[in-house]
Chain A
Amino acid sequence: MPTDQLSLTFAALADPTRRGILARLAQGEATVKELAEPFAVSLPAISRHLRVLEGAGLITRRRDAQSRPTSLRIEGLSEADEWMANCRAVWEGRVRRLDAHLDAMLKGETDE
């Protein structure tokens, strides 16, 4: 996945209204009007949030109906999750090597 796409995903997830929309969509497809109901914001504001989520690959919107029902795109979340898992693996490796390095240092074995 291109890195700029991942940045879009993280930025999209950084907003509480957009996370609320995703949580609602986890229960199933919804229209813009249905998505707007729990929030004290206008329909155009919800539409803007949906454009951000769509740009981040987190939702898909059907084009064949006037109400443009929206659904969750789980792949978008998996990609962000995978990035974090890789990040964790790199740091765990560093901690292991640092541990071995410090052991060797304290035993005076690093002066090859």
Chain B
Amino acid sequence: MSDSTRAPAEVRITHVFDAPPEAVFAAWTDPDQVAKWWAPDGYEIPPESVEIEPRVGGRFDLVMVESSGTGRFPYRSEIIEISEPELIVLGAEAILEAGIEETVTRVVFEADGGRTRMTITSGPYTDEIRRNAEAGWVDLIANLEKLLAA
């Protein structure tokens, strides 16, 4: 999956870290490190719940637990592509009861001096969207809402 075939049906976030790509990549593949930053606010990740097999076809699984409550939200994904220290692509399974969609998250790490530019793209790729890389529905939504608000 190259940038030219990327559907615009996704979230895209870029951030520059004051750390080399090796350190940022390790923060994504070392279970103890992932447990420290992956959970949304109000959630914790028991380090023992994190299973990462850093190879194509390997698992990237963890469980997010409500800090003040009993909610448990698993994140289960397969590593689709991995290349240390520049790329990791995760295909997450839909978990219907937790309201989690099937998504593909692509993370690119680029060296920038001693720093790292990380670009995350994440989207709800159904099989149909995968086949139709020109989905373009984000633009469509924006355009339609503009039209209707007018």
Contact assessment for B101 and A6 in the assembled complex, using a CB-CB cutoff below 8 Å? yes
Query: Within 8 Å of chain B (Cβ to Cβ): is A14?
Result: yes
Residues of A bordering B, CB below 8 Å: 3-4, 6-7, 10-11, 13-16, 19, 22-23, 26-27, 72, 74, 77-78, 80-81, 83-84, 87-88, 90-95, 97-103, 105-106, 110
Residues of B bordering A, CB below 8 Å: 9, 11, 13, 15, 17-19, 23-24, 27, 33, 36-38, 40-41, 94, 96, 99-103, 118, 120, 122, 124, 126, 128-129, 131-132, 134-138, 140-141, 143-145, 147-148
Our pick among B18, B100, B101, B132 for the contact of A106 (Cβ within 8 Å) is: B18
Given known contacts A22-B144, A105-B23, A90 and B124 CB-to-CB distance under 8 angstroms: no
Contact assessment for B18 and A77 in the assembled complex, using a CB-CB cutoff below 8 Å? no
Contact assessment for A80 and B141 in the assembled complex, using a CB-CB cutoff below 8 Å? yes
Contact assessment for B126 and A74 in the assembled complex, using a CB-CB cutoff below 8 Å? no
Given known contacts A97-B37, A102-B18, A14 and B126 CB-to-CB distance under 8 angstroms: yes
Of all chain A residues, the one with the shortest Cβ separation from B41 is A93
Residues of A close to B17: CB separation below 8 A: 98-99, 102
Contact assessment for A7 and B24 in the assembled complex, using a CB-CB cutoff below 8 Å? no
